[in-house]
Amino acid sequence: MKLWQKIFLWTLLIVMISVSSTGILLLKNDFNMSIKNQTENTISTHHYMASIISNKVLTKRLQNNLVLLSTDEITIVLDELLRNATSDSNIVALIDDENEIIYNNFPLTISKEFFNSIKINNRTCNQIVTQDDRHRLLVASPLTIENQKYTFVTSTDITNIYNGYQNQFEHIKKMCIFLSVGGALLLVIVLKLLLKPLSKLNNTTRAIANGEYHERININSYDELGELAKNMNTMADSVEKNIILLEETAKNRSLFINNFTHEMKTPLTSILGFSDMMRIDWNLSSEEIVEYSNIIFNEADRLKQLSSKLMELITIGETAIELKKTKASDFFDTLLQSLTSIAGNHNINFQSNIENAYIYIDKELFASLIYNVIDNAFKASPNNSTVLLEAKFQKKEKFYIIKIKDEGIGIPEDELSKITEPFYMIDKARTRKAGGAGLGLALCKNIANIHNCEFKIDSVLNKGTTVTIILKGEKLKDENINR
């Protein structure tokens, strides 16, 4: 059963019960008030008639100059008095002490229990009885006439009150049915309008579940459904973002595996090929043996560097590191000596301008970061060009900013966002010739991330590249290291 059907049925049931109960309670209260008012009027009339009868008997006795009237004479007085009241709507009966009716102007059935209650209580009592499909209100009270004790009974027909109650009850039933049908139709319309956004919500979530992650719920309301739609859209944004991230990760992983396989295949092919030539051909000259041996050595060395870089790239984020407070001068001293020697081998003019400060680093990893960036700068720079390593401390922001600038071939603008991906190489032939595999900058990016520092690459094609590394620092003193 759908939600709107449940709400419809329960609401309709509650409305029907509420309307019916309210109508019946009001009708019952009105009926009870009518009976109460009729009882009070009947009792008042009863006592009035009892008083008239007593006075009439007394007057008759005085007129006849008698000491006491007999029972027959009392009956005659009652008959004269009530001669014009013989209808069944107003009945009068006089009953002696032995419960025998000595006078009544209309047949009337009175229960013994009613008589006994009057004698026991010795006061006015009333009772509603049903006789011949008529409802009568009996009022009885003790009455002493001519020193004789009687029970005086009057009866009033109250069938009209019961008929009115029954008619109103039937009217309330019809009204409840009419209100229920009308309310049901109105309730269906209201529920459809109110729950229409829920249908939109259901359709959109179904579409998202089926892979249409761009779908969003368009509900412009400020109630709970609007809030739910907003939260669902937020969830859909997160799901879409994660799906895109997973797709990119899967794509990058596939590309990574393909590139890795290719990078491994090239040196292995060379090693197998030249070693097989040396194994089969015994007539090789010494120059050929040296040439082939150098090729095998270089390719094997390349494989070693590739496996080492790859292992470092894989494990860099899995090993817990401790960033230690280090003087920049202590860190760069040893590193600059090695870099200066490498620059000489590449015919590069290497310069440095380093401001001393405290930095928080893992020495080995951060040295690998600086070495890889500068090594790339050497490889990308022509002979006799300049590579500058510059490091300065900014007092205001408390940042230590390292910049490596070269005058090399540069990087195309559309390649800058991809340059830090593993195995990505702009000029693969040149990179392999220089001994690279496209893992250096990817490794640098990872090392920068675990140091919580910013790693930026700015480049202009055929003019040079600037790599900027920004990390937290503390001022030591105004001390420079220039190379």
**Residue 172 pLDDT greater than 90, yes or no:** no
Q: For the chain, give the longest Cα–Cα distance.
A: 181
Across residues 163-181, what is the average pLDDT? Answer: 86
pLDDT over 70 percentage in the chain: 84
Q: Quick one: pLDDT at residue 252?
A: 66
**Residue 424 pLDDT greater than 80, yes or no:** no
Q: Quick one: pLDDT at residue 371?
A: 83
pLDDT over 90 percentage in the chain: 9
Query: Residue 446, class by beta-carbon neighbours within 10 Å (0-12 exposed, 13-18 middle, 19+ buried)?
Result: buried
For residue 60, what pLDDT band results from cuts at 50, 70 and 90? confident
H or E segment to which residue 477 belongs: strand 464-482
What's the CA gap between 28 and 31, in Å, rounded? 5
Q: Which among 370, 329, 374 has a CA at the least distance from the CA of 350?
A: 374
Q: Which among 50, 78, 71 has a CA at the least distance from the CA of 152?
A: 50
What is the chain's mean pLDDT, rounded?
A: 79
Q: Quick one: pLDDT at residue 483?
A: 47
**Residue 179 pLDDT greater than 50, yes or no:** yes
Across residues 257-268, what is the average pLDDT? Answer: 63
Q: Which domains does the chain have, with CATH numbers?
A: 3-165 (3.30.450.20), 203-315 (1.10.287.130), 321-482 (3.30.565.10)
Residue 462's identity, in one-letter code, is N
**Residue 343 pLDDT greater than 50, yes or no:** yes
**Residue 88 pLDDT greater than 60, yes or no:** no
For 146-172, b/e burial (b = at least 16 CB within 10 A) is beeebbbbbbbbbeebbeebeebeeeb
Q: Cα dihedral angle (5, 6, 8, 12), rounded to 10 degrees?
A: 140
Asked if 135 contacts 162 with a C-beta cutoff of 8 angstroms, the reply is yes
Asked if 156 contacts 42 with a C-beta cutoff of 8 angstroms, the reply is yes
Global confidence as pTM: 0.45
Tens of pLDDT, residue by residue over 188-243, are 888 777 777 777 777 787 887 787 777 777 767 677 777 777 787 888 888 888 88
For residue 469, what pLDDT band results from cuts at 50, 70 and 90? very high
Q: Quick one: pLDDT at residue 268?
A: 78
Asked if 417 contacts 456 with a C-beta cutoff of 8 angstroms, the reply is no
Strands 134-145 and 386-394: unpaired
**Residue 77 pLDDT greater than 70, yes or no:** yes
Q: Quick one: pLDDT at residue 134?
A: 85
For 24-59, b/e burial (b = at least 16 CB within 10 A) is eeebeeebeebbeebbeebbeebbebbeebeebbee
Higher pLDDT, 262 or 282: 282
Q: Quick one: pLDDT at residue 470?
A: 92
Higher pLDDT, 120 or 432: 120
Higher pLDDT, 439 or 31: 31
**Residue 118 pLDDT greater than 50, yes or no:** yes
